[in-house]
Every structure is written in C-alpha cells, then in structure tokens.
Amino acid sequence: MMAQIAIVDDHPIFLDGMAQFLNSHGHDILFCAKSVEEALDRMKSGEPDLLILDVSMKSGGGLAILSSIRNSGSTVPVIFMTVHIRPEQTLEAIKLGVDGVVLKDSDPNELLTCIQQVMSGSKSIAPFVMEQALVHSISAPASETNVLDALTERELEIAGLIRAGLRNREIASRCGLTEGTVKVHLHSIFQKLGIKSRSELIIMMMSMDSDMPAVGMEH
C-alpha cells in the first residue's frame, strides 16, 4: 500500500537515508522536517497519509508534535521511530493515539511491515517497547481510586476478555452477544475511562491490579 509520508528527524543523514529507503519501496515523501516547528508549519499546507517521528530532538520531539496535532483534531496515523523510548513516553504516546513504534536498530523490513499495518488501521508497537511499558505501569504506584469501578459487570467482563487478547468477534461468541453490541460496550468503556485504544485499556487494567483475572475464560 503506497502512502504519502512525512518524516521528522533532526539527523540529516538519517533523514535523507530514510526518505530514499521509503521511496525505493514505492512510498512518496511529502516532506522531511528537522524540527518540531518546521514539521507543524509544513503540516499547515497539507497532511500526509502517515507521519514518522523521532521521539527525541533538540527542538522537542515526537510527543510534542503528536500532542499538538491531536489537540488540533488531526487523526493522521503516527509512527515513532527512535533509538530509545522510555516506558513513560510510550504510555503517554499511547494515550495520545500513537499508531506504531519501531526502534531504529530493527530490521528495515520491520518498518515496512509497521507502515503496512498502520495504514490498514491496526496498531503496531514493537513487542519489547510494549513489554517495558507494561512492566513500568504495573510497578508504578497504584491510583487511590480504581477507575474500573465505573464499569458495569458486562463491561468488566468484556474488558477482561480484551486483556486476555480476544478480538471483538471472539468476545461476541463468548458472551452470547452480537459483534455490534460488543463495539457499543467497548465505546462505553473507552468513554468512561478516558482512553482511545485497546492497548491503553490493557495497560490501565494491569496497572490497577496486576492480579486481576481475565473474566469469562473458563472452559
């Protein structure tokens, strides 16, 4: 799937190499930017199909750009590509709606796969990065109030099945519901918890109670 891509990184050699690599694999480069300010200014002239951002730059970083464009109402898919991302940065990025995270020392094909998955509407966060975020969220001090208390019994059941890795169709079958009803419950869960993705829901549940059993998994 060809995409018009914008790349933001403050290392010119890497930026040029990335642009050539993506061009050679059928993607168009809408623009390259070397700072937060330049990227946001170029975005005013038109959004790309996909943004690839470095997390750490001298003028700020990917989180600053992601926060700005999400606050403006933009839903353009965003991939972070970086040497290192701290667990708390990953959690913040998930809250802001990042679509993918790829480490710069990964095989180049992993970036191409991530782009394909994100452009198809899926999330694609490097397993190691997600694992570190989960460990961090579990070891962090628990909130005084368990926000999961806001969920109904059915919503807790569905949340538990999501945490267990089930997809909507599988959840519908397990709970005796239609897939559409599961989506309605999921929308309600997201609204009540102030989150936007299944990944964020899983992290929140594990940070609230790492021993919470997945509901409805008995055979």
User: Rounded to whole angstroms, how far apart are CA atoms 86 and 90?
Assistant: 6
Q: Indicate whether 214 pLDDT > 50.
A: no
Predicted confidence at residue 130, as pLDDT, reads 85
Rounded to a whole number of angstroms, the distance between the first and last alpha carbons of the chain is 40
Report residue 140's pLDDT band, with 50, 70 and 90 as the boundaries.
low
Q: Which residues pair with 79 in a beta bridge?
A: 52, 100
Residue for token pair 């059928």: 26
- Pick from 17-26, 66-75, 129-138, 160-169: least confident: 129-138
pLDDT reading at 218 higher than 90: no
* Mean of per-residue pLDDT scores for the chain: 85
The CA distances from residue 190 to 101, 163, 202, 208, 213, in Å, are 22, 14, 11, 16, 20
Does 171 score more than 80 pLDDT?
yes
